[in-house]
Structure 1
Amino acid sequence: MPYDPPPELQDLSLADIAGLVAARKLPPVEQWSPAHESDSQMRIAADGRWYHQGGLISRPAMVRLFASVLRREEDGRHALVTPFERQWIAVEDAPLLAVELKSEGTGDQRRLAFRLNTDELVVAGPDRPIIMRGDADEPRPYLGLWRGLEARIERAVYYDLVELALEETEAPEAGLPIWSDGACFRLDTIEVA
């Protein structure tokens, strides 16, 4: 079946995006507990590129397929999981990237939708938090996903978030809160890992 990537975010309303997110059908990876384990000989680089045995996986459809069966285990390691096997995969930072942002509304009525490098659409909210790591000099923003996964928010997208927060902040010394889907996230508060 050919893959049709979603239209660009700017052409969609957040209601359209929410419908696409709800229609997404991921395999029930969290329900699978295969007995057999092995090393996938795969690596996800910090820049979001996927490699197998040192060679770049250049087909986006293959990356989307692998990402659909990826989860983070309780010990923090990542694995590709099928009903029959769990294959460990090395992840240098976060396995996915948030590469585009769309915002609708203002203040606590705002909704933020992100497009991932796999073309998945994610609306930030209570179950999909924006998480700040790093330090004040070099903040590293992430978006919480499903199955314990995270997407690193690319720098340009992070700057868009900061600009949105600054537009609404009457007292910048009070910090940088930004709302999405009823949850408030602080862009100025670094989470300690």
Structure 2
Amino acid sequence: MPMEPPPDLASLSLADIARLASEKRLPPVDKWHPTHCGDSDMRIARDGTWFHMGSPIGRQEMVRLFSTILRREPDGGYVLVTPVEKLDIAVEDAPFVAVEMKTEGDGSDAKLAFRLNTGDLVTAGADHPLRFVQADDGPRPYLHVRGGLEALVVRSVYYDIAERALSGDDDPAGVWSDGAFFPLEPAV
């Protein structure tokens, strides 16, 4: 059965995004505990590109499929897991990249929805918090996706978040989404 192409974020309302996100059924990877079988020879680069044996995976449908069986282990590592096997996968930064944002409302009534490089839709909020990490190359924003898996927010989307935060009246500067507040400054 072929996977459907990801929806166009601009054409969706935030209510549509919430409905689509709640309808998406993912495999129960948290319930699968097969024996570790080795390494997958796969890597997810910082820009979200998936590689197998050093070559980029060109079929986006394959990337989306693999992303549904990705799991974060208690030791911080990443694996691809099925009911019968578990394989390590290298992740350079975060396994997903938030490539687009759509907003509705202002202040504490705001909602920020993100489209990931895999086509997944995630609305920031208490269950999907945003966090900001200071790095040598500047701030790095991350969005919690599921089960300890995060998306690195691309720089252009971060600039939109920062502009929104700096135009508000909150002290410290930050953004609201789905009733939760996320300060731009990393927690010390």
TM-score interval, smaller chain: over 0.9
Is residue 136–residue 190 contact of structure 1 (8 Å, CA) maintained in 2?
no
Does 2:150 align with 1:138? no
| Alignment match, 1:76 | 76
Is residue 132–residue 140 contact of structure 1 (8 Å, CA) maintained in 2?
yes
Q: Distance in 2 between matches of 1:8 and 1:165?
A: 25
TM alignment of 1:142-153, pairs within 5 A: 142-153=142-153
| Alignment match, 2:118 | 118
| Alignment match, 2:67 | 67
| Alignment match, 2:107 | 107
Does 2:61 align with 1:54? no
Gaps of 5+ in 2: none
Q: Deviations over 1:164-187 (max 9, x none)?
A: 1122237xxx33221111110011
Q: Deviations over 1:125-169 (max 9, x none)?
A: 111010111248711100011121000000000001111112223
| Alignment match, 2:181 | 184
Q: Deviations over 1:30-67 (max 9, x none)?
A: 11111242100101111111111111101000000100
Q: Distance in 2 between matches of 1:126 and 1:76?
A: 22
C-alpha RMSD of matched pairs (Å): 1.5
TM-score by length of 1: 0.92
| Alignment match, 1:98 | 98
TM-score by length of 2: 0.95
| Alignment match, 2:24 | 24
SS at match of 2:175: strand
Q: Distance in 2 between matches of 1:102 and 1:25?
A: 23
Relative to structure 2, which stretch is displaced further, 7-16 or 117-126?
7-16
Relative to structure 2, which stretch is displaced further, 161-170 or 147-156?
161-170
* Identity score, percent: 55
Is residue 96–residue 117 contact of structure 1 (8 Å, CA) maintained in 2?
yes
Q: Distance in 1 between matches of 2:44 and 2:137?
A: 26
Q: Relative to 1, partners in 2 of residues 1:137 and 1:35: Cα closer, same or farther, differing over 3 Å?
A: closer
Is residue 98–residue 116 contact of structure 2 (8 Å, CA) maintained in 1?
yes
